[in-house]
Structure 1
Amino acid sequence: MFGVAAAGFSRGRIDPPTLVGMSAILMWSATVGLYRNISEIFGPIGGSALIFTVSGIVALIHAGPKAFRGHSPRYLLIGGAMFVTYEIALALAVGFAQTRAQSVEVGLINYLWPSFTIALAIWAGHARAGIMVIPGILICLLGVFWAATGSANFSLAAMVHNIGSNPLPYILAFIAAITWPLYTILTKGMAQGRSAVPLFLLATAALLWVYYGVSDQPTLVYNSKGAMMVLTFGVLTTLAYSAWTYGVNHGNLTLMATASYFSPLLSVMLSSVLLSMVPGLNFWLGASLVTAGSLICLAATKR
């Protein structure tokens, strides 16, 4: 796979559909920064509810009537439950982080999903892998732990103290990192080539609005900057899914898959811009290790 990817990059054979597909990776990498900004304005629960309401409406408008047709009950129930769990866990993990730096840390945990997806695919019999997949996963975990230390030098005590001071976001981010691979692998056959993402986004919004209504949450007050961010998030979500689907159908999937494993680095970079912060060396080291570990897993895997 790396040979094919390298050949594609070096010979300049990245065609327009592949570039369109790769643009989805860039849009998804902005998720953490946007989540955090919106949660700071509207609160973790209210902000997340607004995000998925707008995202669901925009996605539904884009998909049209076909969003409601042809879905199996198993896909809607099982796939929907996993999709909703993933989205809520990630959104609240970022929103409940005590600081912007911590939100980037928990966002990085989410990017364990590529290596976890490979591990699950191997377990489910969808792929074969060499022994190198084990050090690949361990390197990914080391990258997350390194970022969680809060300093350039890895320290187990510092990591435990940092996580122990506010464990809920880390737990939620880890749940997200596990749930997305489950959704990816288990719903492949259930979906039968169809997508109920607009319905899943609206279901996520509905649950968050229920939680908002029954819990003690701050009153939502209109904020023009926040409203623009929510609208931007909704449009980006739809564009990202559409761009990725177009790239998968018409572009070079090998290049797209390889490029997606650089999401941790892109996420840290875009989060630093959106959150007006300068990531420390620990973030770059952690993101680099997660990326390297994911690529090792990818190289050790055969379909």
Structure 2
Amino acid sequence: MNQSKATAIGFCAILLWSSIVGLIKEVSHSFGATMGAALIYTVASLFLLLSIKWTPLSKFPKKYLIFGSLLMVSYELCLALSIGYSENSVQAIEVGMVNYLWPTFTMIATVLFTSKKANWLIIPGIIISMLGIVWVLGGDKGFNVSEMMAHIQSNPLSYGLAFLGALLWAGYCVVTIRLSNGANGIILFFMIVAIVLWIKYVLLYDQSEINVSFPSIIYLILAGAAMGFGYAAWNIGILHGNVTTLAGASYFTPVLSSMLSSLLLSAALGLSFWQGALMVCLGSILCWLSTKKFKK
């Protein structure tokens, strides 16, 4: 496969991932937070099995099998349930934006726990990303800490899970770099996520009303495809495409995700939200640039 084609497939992954927030919320409307997430990861696992070669367990370093699966599974649970437990469409998009702190956190963790070096740009990058979240959660008032706290207190579970998820993904990336030895565990990890969610659903029976309809089935298939094929496409992109181009493009995912989610969920987002979303993107890009070596 030539590099241009692989890079284009990588871009498809960014588009698919950008639709995740809206699709998860739509599925949770019909099936509830827990059952909806369990169904999504079950479908995603099937799509992954059809599109990526299964990696035998013997190929995994034992430490990566333990710590990688723990971090990845925990992250995916936080992502799906934080959106599923959101109280309305706008809150779901806000929660998704909190989760998009992961590029910034990943760069910080990479610099702290690997041999990667960063220059001074990482400091303004971190500050701008965090200010962007404050701006998003400040509502129409923009930078307003008291309004942000009011938002968080209205649903601390969703916002807390989203923030924890961003930290967990950063940890997963570092563990993958240091321990994976090239093993791709995404199919295994997604299957474990699905199993854990089904166990949660059975043991802690979710009383959410289930409304199965043709549109809900379509949303479920689309969500599973976006999850599964998104990871499959990204895998092709980073293995055979232009990694630098894909990495740079991925930092615009928060804005693209918000656009697609607002259209899918028919949610009106104010100017302050978009200002905050752009700040999150800018902060992430600065963190990314801080690790680059520029020619003199």
- Please indicate the TM-score interval, normalised by the length of the shorter structure: over 0.9
Which residue does the alignment assign to 1:15?
4
1:107-126 aligned at under 5 Å gives the runs 107-126=96-115
Q: Which runs of 5+ in 1 are unaligned?
A: 1-13
User: Aligned partners of 1:126 and 1:288: how far apart in 2?
Assistant: 29
User: Aligned partners of 1:280 and 1:221: how far apart in 2?
Assistant: 31
Tell me how far 1:65 sits from its aligned partner: 4.3
User: Aligned partners of 2:238 and 2:185: how far apart in 1?
Assistant: 17
Contact 1:272 1:278 in 2 (8 A): yes
Match for 1:77: what amino acid? I
Tell me how far 1:189 sits from its aligned partner: 3.4
User: Aligned partners of 1:59 and 1:89: how far apart in 2?
Assistant: 20
Tell me how far 1:120 sits from its aligned partner: 0.7
Contact 2:114 2:174 in 1 (8 A): no
Which residue does the alignment assign to 1:295?
285
Which residue does the alignment assign to 1:7?
none
Match for 1:257: what amino acid? A
Alignment of 1:75 with 2:67, yes or no, is no
User: Aligned partners of 2:228 and 2:87: how far apart in 1?
Assistant: 29
User: What TM-score results when the alignment is normalised by the length of structure 1?
Assistant: 0.91
Contact 2:135 2:276 in 1 (8 A): yes
Contact 2:33 2:84 in 1 (8 A): yes
Aligned residues with identical type, % of pairs: 38
Match for 1:255: what amino acid? T
User: Aligned partners of 2:53 and 2:210: how far apart in 1?
Assistant: 30
User: Aligned partners of 1:65 and 1:23: how far apart in 2?
Assistant: 22
**187-196 vs 206-215, which moves further:** 187-196
Tell me how far 1:53 sits from its aligned partner: 0.9
Alignment of 1:267 with 2:242, yes or no, is no
SS in 2 for 1:15: helix
Q: Against the structure 1 CA distance between its residues 94 and 69, is the aligned structure 2 distance closer, same or farther, given a 3 Å change threshold?
A: same
Contact 2:55 2:184 in 1 (8 A): no
Which residue does the alignment assign to 2:225?
235
Pairwise CA RMSD:
1.7
Alignment of 1:277 with 2:267, yes or no, is yes
Aligned length: 290
Contact 1:105 1:147 in 2 (8 A): yes
Alignment of 1:216 with 2:205, yes or no, is yes
Q: Which runs of 5+ in 2 are unaligned?
A: none
Tell me how far 1:67 sits from its aligned partner: 5.3
User: Aligned partners of 1:222 and 1:275: how far apart in 2?
Assistant: 18
Tell me how far 1:301 sits from its aligned partner: 1.6
Alignment of 1:43 with 2:43, yes or no, is no
User: Aligned partners of 2:52 and 2:4: how far apart in 1?
Assistant: 25
1:128-277 aligned at under 5 Å gives the runs 128-218=117-207, 220-277=210-267
Contact 2:90 2:268 in 1 (8 A): no
User: Aligned partners of 1:157 and 1:235: how far apart in 2?
Assistant: 39
Tell me how far 1:59 sits from its aligned partner: 1.0
Q: Against the structure 1 CA distance between its residues 237 and 117, is the aligned structure 2 distance closer, same or farther, given a 3 Å change threshold?
A: same
Tell me how far 1:28 sits from its aligned partner: 0.5
Q: Against the structure 1 CA distance between its residues 97 and 65, is the aligned structure 2 distance closer, same or farther, given a 3 Å change threshold?
A: closer
Match for 1:106: what amino acid? V
